[in-house]
Structure 1
């Protein structure tokens, strides 16, 4: 995604978001929204209903179980009732029965976390006549509160607010030490500050090593590329004169790769239209945080809360649901002991793959395997 020039909207962020949703849905007679029970997809659904003007709106949710053992389906249904959207149809996708192979693309493997379930949502949406399927993708990366914002928040809201922010980020990344280092780095030369930021924020990426699951020569090539990329990022931060908080906000969103649709319905996120991106980037970083809100989740999601009507706020969840167990279950679906194109082609080292336990690595290998299978089905010859 190419860089966007910040430009504040005269009507504010909520008006920009409403216009973004309206623009994406203006030609659709039936609007679909993927909802998870989180704030981002809820904001999308609320605004889709607001602009529908008699058109049908259908919510699609995957019946995942979060790390606390709660299904997201009752969470979604209760949330819709509480915010006055009980009339919205809810289509439930069962992970055990509705997994679908995502659409193959010559651009490369799909690296979304649950591509088969995303494809199942798209397939169900097509069957219901949906012409555009919206989501809340991109919100966390775009609107989340960055690290190293103690000083800007102190200037914006005062020392008490800065202390509350420091408490919220204390268990994240480099924590309070990182916040102190960010203040000290303001007197450092730009290149030294950028290097120190990278070391504090991405210690595992100071001297990156490609996963041993990659076979040679691919592992060596990937390591060489990664080290070159790191040097480019550090030099880019130094050249732009970014402070640590600005660098973290930048790295949260960029590089942002647009992903093609998982099925045969148009997919879009109102958080990722050019008009909304421009307005979001124009918001001062300290204003992403609201120290007066009652939970850390809300304080760090305050810009998303600002997109919702006041009547809906009291019904919103105050904690985030996590689905790491669902991701691990998806990764476990890769049979590392059976025949695999990724090993037969020499791309992946079978011995290392058999010992690999990192969910993220296994999900990527699984995505590459599906992509190679699809390539052969589309007539490719793999030597």
Structure 2
């Protein structure tokens, strides 16, 4: 077997593989002889069919089978011989073969894994410094109270934050449209549920008021037929209610699992916020470290790997948007940059682990699992679950390995502290 390799664009390689035609013919003959032992053709007993007839009746099919199997086996030998690391499946095309040189040729085009040379790192990573203030706890408790909000009717003009019960009918050019009308629906003013201008037009109105509101659907409105079209809504306010927040008492605390009462609720809230703060600080540092790593180590990435990552992101988004239902299309362009960055990071992280012989720190794995389990009612059961499931344990081990790579990056750069607050960290995501 002879192999020649040409470099194409980027990571593409073209392997021209030459196989002796006599080897293929010998394999075809061998298989035809095997078929001949049981083949039944008119006028001939099994085992007595002439090779000429076997070739005429079965030769084409057998030849294709031999071609396929020899291409598969020789391709594997070829990439090992040339010490190539394919990044995906090859595209196989017939080459120029002739009876004169007695060779069968094919061309395998494939992307290969990039050769990575890690550059020395420099730069700055800002470590957020924050603590949980009493105001942060109060704001979190307010969010919990809003989760248990009730509404009470009032006899006054509607204000932002009020819930109004409305009936409305929308028309475009005087004609009603699907989904443009409803009776006695609840709407919180300022929630942004309706198109821009609808909710603000109801502020200051009273129960029983009827309004005619002229608006325009956004250019990127989710219903294509309505996008960028003028619309008129006839709206009647049937009721106005203001929110009533529950008191923070023992009954309220029990609704959030704090059976011991308010003190336990306050303690749980602060503990959970402290845990969240630590996670957000860790994530902020990790993101900065990974950004430095990719910025200072630009590499070509195989398009096949990017395509796989795009598909994974599309599927993940579909599941999040529709709980796994439907098969609606999501444009590749939405995910291309993110997919390329994730593939780049994966390759760089793998190279750092290999070059530095980084082994997973089992103590950190255990700590990570215990931290996660702490938020559950029976943490020991969660810990046992992870250690009894190899797949789940491997997921945590991969996260810890990434953390260890982040540590490796941080050893090479300057770390400065940056004062911030819990609110700022949560707002920035």
Q: Same fold (TM over 0.5)?
A: no
Shorter-chain TM-score: which interval?
A: under 0.3
TM-score of the superposed pair, with normalisation by structure 2: 0.20
Rg larger in structure: 2
Instruction: Give the number of the structure with larger relative contact order, counting CA–CA contacts within 8 Å between residues 6 or more apart.
Output: 1
TM-score of the superposed pair, with normalisation by structure 1: 0.22
Question: Larger % of strand: which?
Answer: 2
